[in-house]
Amino acid sequence: MRWFQRMIAAAVLSASVVAASVGASYGKDPKQDKVVRIGFQKYGKLVLLKSQGTLEEKLNAAGYKVVWTEFASGPPLLEALNIGAIDFGNTGEAPPIFAQAAGAPIQYVAYEPPAPKGEAILVPKDSKLASVADLKGKKVALNKGSNVHYLLVKALEKAGVKYSEIEPVFLAPADARAAFERGAVHAWVIWDPFQAAAEAATGARTLTDGTGVVSNYQFYFSSKKFAETDPKIIDLVLAQLGDVDDWAKGDIHAVAEQLAPAIGLSVPVVEVALKRQSYGIKPITESVIADQQQVADTFFALGLIPNQIKISDLARRSGS
């Protein structure tokens, strides 16, 4: 459990720095327009929305300004929501489990459909490992607390291997790729676009992706306070995300050209990742809540979170 405590502490520190920065730049002056603060990561629909600039116009008409803050990963983004540094953001399915277990007052407000091919367990192209069952006793690199943590757990379970029978090596994507390329680990569990980049650069093979194993949802969140006080603004942001999503799924090449420079990857690599992504910004359903509850229950059973949680407590249903 120590790694969980360290992860939360690191996220708190990171988000606290963001909060101080945002607070210094955007004070609560009643004479100023209201502000919606959006947290984003380098890859995904929020990046596209930011680059298009259409949200600013819509929010301005509603008396709001938007402030964008970039995060390296999901856990510090959700901790920023927890301490009031941002109002809205998105992550995959695993980070909110850890955030809720730590008491963060977040609210699920929308999701993207499953994208099981957008994450995978990779091995070097010349590896003798041929199946997930072959990972028994092997070193497996992954980003702890991320979506791929759940993929690894469920893939091992399906193959009849206990999680305790492999040696997890917790590394951020850049460090994990370095370890993978020099042979310091036997396998790497990773998501797109890092997955597509590794396949293109190293010829890495896939032992399994999420197909038939996990859903790999993307979720959109607000703070509970913002959801209660500004629900119409959440709806406005989601509507604009829906418009961007419609454009993206209809012209993947144009999206790849727009994203590639920002994330430092080639257009063809980004195109591969985008084709494995899902499209559609949808309201939270009971079925999605049930799927997310399975993730939470699995992590609790493995001792990866300190207490049982109830996903439905944090879900904003359609029309609410």
Q: In what order do the strands lie in the sheet with 205-209?
A: 167-170, 139-142, 187-191, 119-123, 205-209
Same domain? 94 vs 231: yes
Q: What is the mean pLDDT of residues 147-164?
A: 95
Same domain? 79 vs 143: no
Same domain? 251 vs 299: yes
Q: Is 236 helix (H, G, I), strand (E, B) or coil?
A: helix
d(CA 17, CA 25): 13
Instruction: Extract long-range pairs of 28-34: CB within 8 Å, 24+ residues apart.
Output: 32/65, 33/60, 33/63, 33/64, 33/65, 34/63, 34/64, 34/65, 34/230
Residue showing tokens 């012209």: 251
| pTM (predicted TM-score) | 0.84
Same domain? 204 vs 287: no
Note down the domain range covering 198.
Answer: 116-209
Residue 186 neighbours by CB under 8 Å, 6+ apart: 123, 127, 129, 135, 138, 139, 140
Same domain? 110 vs 222: yes
Tokens for 313, please give them. Answer: 């407590």
With contact defined as beta carbons under 8 Å apart, do 141 and 171 qualify? yes
Same domain? 234 vs 253: yes
Same domain? 128 vs 45: no
**Is residue 270, in this structure, part of any structural domain at all?**
no
pLDDT band, very low/low/confident/very high, at 17 (cuts 50, 70, 90): very low
Residue 268 has pLDDT above 80, yes or no: yes
**Is residue 271, in this structure, part of any structural domain at all?**
no
Tell me how many degrees the CA angle 44-47-53 measures, rounded to the nearest 5. Answer: 145
Predicted confidence at residue 262, as pLDDT, reads 82
pLDDT band, very low/low/confident/very high, at 76 (cuts 50, 70, 90): confident
When mean pLDDT is compared across 9-18, 162-171, 204-213, 214-223, the lowest value belongs to: 9-18
Q: In what order do the strands lie in the sheet with 88-92?
A: 64-70, 34-40, 88-92, 218-223, 106-112
Same domain? 111 vs 232: yes
DSSP structure class, residue 62: T
Q: Which of 50, 46, 65, 57 is nearest to 230 (CA)?
A: 65
What pLDDT, in 10s, does the model give residues 106-132? 999 999 999 999 999 999 999 999 999
Same domain? 111 vs 234: yes
Same domain? 240 vs 305: yes
**Is residue 319, in this structure, part of any structural domain at all?**
no
pLDDT band, very low/low/confident/very high, at 13 (cuts 50, 70, 90): very low
Same domain? 52 vs 200: no
Please list, residue by residue across 290-312, b when 16 or more beta carbons sit within 10 angstroms of its beta carbon and e when fewer do.
ebbbebbebbbeeebbeeebebe
With contact defined as beta carbons under 8 Å apart, do 165 and 28 qualify? no
Predicted confidence at residue 33, as pLDDT, reads 66
Same domain? 75 vs 132: no
